[in-house]
């Protein structure tokens, strides 16, 4: 078994959200909120052709998340669920994923919208969002979310998973 996997950040997110509390829950709740992704100089060449995409997938480290909890009460429900059936940040490997709108690329800076990411989150990877790969047309089941989860565009982090 692999004991340790190490990653190094490729950049940092600069967003208006200085703490987890008050940060929008998921990108649709952050509609129109701009942020900047500052890419480290050694990775700038890897941004070539990214501006041709309207959306990108950001993978980042939940640097302000608290300890791993196997069962959590997520932001969108009053019942407890297994962590892997939620998107709560209290994960064994606190990796976040957000699909955001790419507004522009300027040298080592990406301007994004629909940013639901806490300021200074280390970016681990960037992938282009491609509906042909990322959208499932077949019937999709969404587990406990189908029972009327309490998400709406005003849903915000209440700090329950922060350290």
**Right CATH number for 11-131+141-147 from 2.40.30.70, 3.40.50.2020, 2.40.37.10, 3.30.360.10?**
2.40.30.70
Q: Are 50 and 126 in contact (CB under 8 A)?
A: yes
d(CA 104, CA 1): 42
Full-model pTM: 0.88
pLDDT of residue 158: 81
Q: Are 111 and 48 in contact (CB under 8 A)?
A: no
What pLDDT, in 10s, does the model give residues 70-91? 999 988 888 999 999 998 999 9
Banded pLDDT at 151 (limits 50, 70, 90) = low
Domain boundaries, the chain: 11-131+141-147
What pLDDT, in 10s, does the model give residues 4-38? 999 999 999 999 999 999 999 888 889 999 999 99
Banded pLDDT at 150 (limits 50, 70, 90) = low
Instruction: Label residue 146 exposed, middle or buried (CB < 10 Å: 0-12, 13-18, 19+).
Output: exposed
pLDDT of residue 60: 98
- Dihedral over Cα of 14, 85, 99, 123: its sign: positive
Average the pLDDT over 79-104 and give the result: 95
Q: Are 13 and 37 in contact (CB under 8 A)?
A: yes
């Amino acid at each position: 078994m692999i004991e340790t996997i190490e990653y190094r950040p490729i950049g940092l997110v600069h967003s208006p959200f200085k703490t987890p509390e008050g940060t929008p829950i998921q990108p649709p709740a952050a509609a129109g909120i701009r942020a900047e992704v500052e890419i480290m100089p050694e990775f700038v060449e890897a941004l070539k052709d990214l501006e041709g995409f309207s959306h990108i997938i950001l993978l980042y480290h939940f640097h302000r998340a608290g300890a791993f909890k196997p069962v959590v009460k997520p932001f969108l429900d009053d019942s407890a669920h297994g962590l892997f059936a939620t998107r709560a940040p209290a994960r064994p490997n606190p990796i976040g994923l957000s699909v955001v709108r790419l507004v522009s690329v300027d040298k080592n800076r990406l301007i994004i919208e629909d940013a639901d990411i806490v300021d200074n989150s280390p970016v681990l990877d960037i992938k282009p969002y491609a509906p042909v790969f990322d959208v499932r047309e077949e019937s999709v089941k969404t587990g406990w979310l189908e029972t009327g989860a309490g998400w709406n565009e005003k849903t915000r982090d209440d700090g329950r998973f922060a350290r």
